[in-house]
Amino acid sequence: TQNFLRIVIPYLGIFFTLGSSEVQVVGPADRVVALIGDDVILPCSPQPNVSAVGMIVRWTRLNPKAENVHFYRQGRDSNEDQSPSYKGRTSMFHEELKNGNVSLKLTRVTLSDTGRYRCFLPTLMKETSFQLIVGAVSQPVISIDGTKGMGVVLKCESGGWFPEPEMEWLDSSGTILPADGPPEKHRDSEDLYALRRHVTVDQTDTNRFTCRVHQTEINHLKEKEIHVPGEVFIG
pLDDT (tens digit per residue) in 23-77? 899 999 899 999 999 999 999 999 988 899 989 999 999 998 899 999 999 888 9
pLDDT at site 22: 77
Domains of the chain: 6-135 (2.60.40.10), 141-234 (2.60.40.10)
Task: Give the predicted TM-score (pTM) of the model.
Answer: 0.79
| Closest listed residue to residue 66, CA positions, set 25, 118, 28, 27 | 118
Sheet (strand 184-187) strand order = 141-148, 151-161, 193-201, 184-187
75-89 pLDDT per residue, tens: 889 998 999 999 999
138-194 pLDDT per residue, tens: 999 999 999 888 899 999 999 999 999 999 999 999 999 999 999 999 999 889 999
What is the distance between the alpha carbons of residues 43 and 163, in angstroms, rounded to a whole number? 23
pLDDT at site 64: 87
Instruction: Assess contact for 61 and 115: CB atoms under 8 A.
Output: yes
| Closest listed residue to residue 207, CA positions, set 155, 158, 146, 152 | 152
What is the distance between the alpha carbons of residues 174 and 210, in angstroms, rounded to a whole number? 8
What is the distance between the alpha carbons of residues 8 and 21, in angstroms, rounded to a whole number? 13
Instruction: Assess contact for 111 and 36: CB atoms under 8 A.
Output: yes
